[in-house]
Amino acid sequence: MAVQNDPVNYYDPAGAEAVPAGDAVCPVGAGEGLQYVACFIDVVPVGNFPSTSVVWMQTFLALQDKLQAQLAEAWRTLDKGCQEALSAHFNLSKVAASSADIVFYDTRDNRTAAFHTYDVSGDRDLAFPTLGQSVEGAVATVLWGRDDKISNKVALNGTFFTLTYTEQNLTLVHEALHVVSGMGDQALAEELGLGRYDRTVAGGHAASESIANWLTYGCKPVSSI
């Protein structure tokens, strides 16, 4: 039964529950396997979203639909050489299917950028406590979750939306590989045969760049790039 007979409320878009104002966590969707996003209630709701939050959630869900469709297309149209190279390391059918669980965050929105990474992914990273800080200086980044495991949450810098469609696709594939493999940049680069990298911030940046270049140039052996 919907709260206040309204099918949309801040805690549960299915309308079954309400929560008080303040920081909260709201599930996107209903039923089992909910994907959680951090939300902030601006004013005390009466069983439904404040109007500004309705717009925010609609925008958030529209982004998921758009990027999920784009990522699915990116897998379908991925360079044949990349498909062959990646299939030596991963089951691409499972990779594509698992990609459908990724949740994207557009940090161009100030409220989204201010979300705490812990509330979104469970990562207590004191160096990068917000989504905006976590993706600063990068086009996109996958968030670490609890117990030092990769989450299915991806933060996007505004730069992502200035890229060409092809560049966006390769970026989405890059982040999806992290999610489905559970590997950070250094481990993934090494798995793909792109060399070994120090377990430092600089090493992570170098590994990420190597993966991006490898995807861009058709996933050819390093010696031929």
Per-residue pLDDT of the chain (225 residues; tens, 9 = 90+): 334 444 444 444 444 444 443 444 444 433 333 344 444 444 334 444 445 666 677 788 889 999 999 999 999 999 999 999 999 999 988 888 888 899 999 999 988 898 888 888 888 777 778 999 999 999 999 999 888 899 999 999 999 999 999 999 999 999 999 999 999 999 999 999 999 999 998 999 999 999 999 999 999 886 644
Distance CA(90)–CA(75), nearest Å, equals 13
Q: What's at 48, amino acid-wise?
A: N
Is the same domain home to 198 and 113? Answer: yes
How many domains in the chain? 2
Which domain, by its residues, includes 89?
A: 51-224
Is the same domain home to 123 and 81? Answer: yes
Is the same domain home to 34 and 114? Answer: no
Is the same domain home to 84 and 129? Answer: yes
Is the same domain home to 42 and 66? Answer: no
Task: Kindly state the helix (H) or strand (E) to which residue 23 belongs, with its residue range.
Answer: strand 22-28
Is the same domain home to 125 and 20? Answer: no
Distance CA(224)–CA(185), nearest Å, equals 21
| Predicted model pTM | 0.77
Neighbours of 213 (CB within 10 A): 12
Is the same domain home to 96 and 34? Answer: no
Is the same domain home to 110 and 55? Answer: yes
Is the same domain home to 183 and 92? Answer: yes
Is the same domain home to 155 and 72? Answer: yes
Is the same domain home to 11 and 71? Answer: no
Is the same domain home to 60 and 29? Answer: no
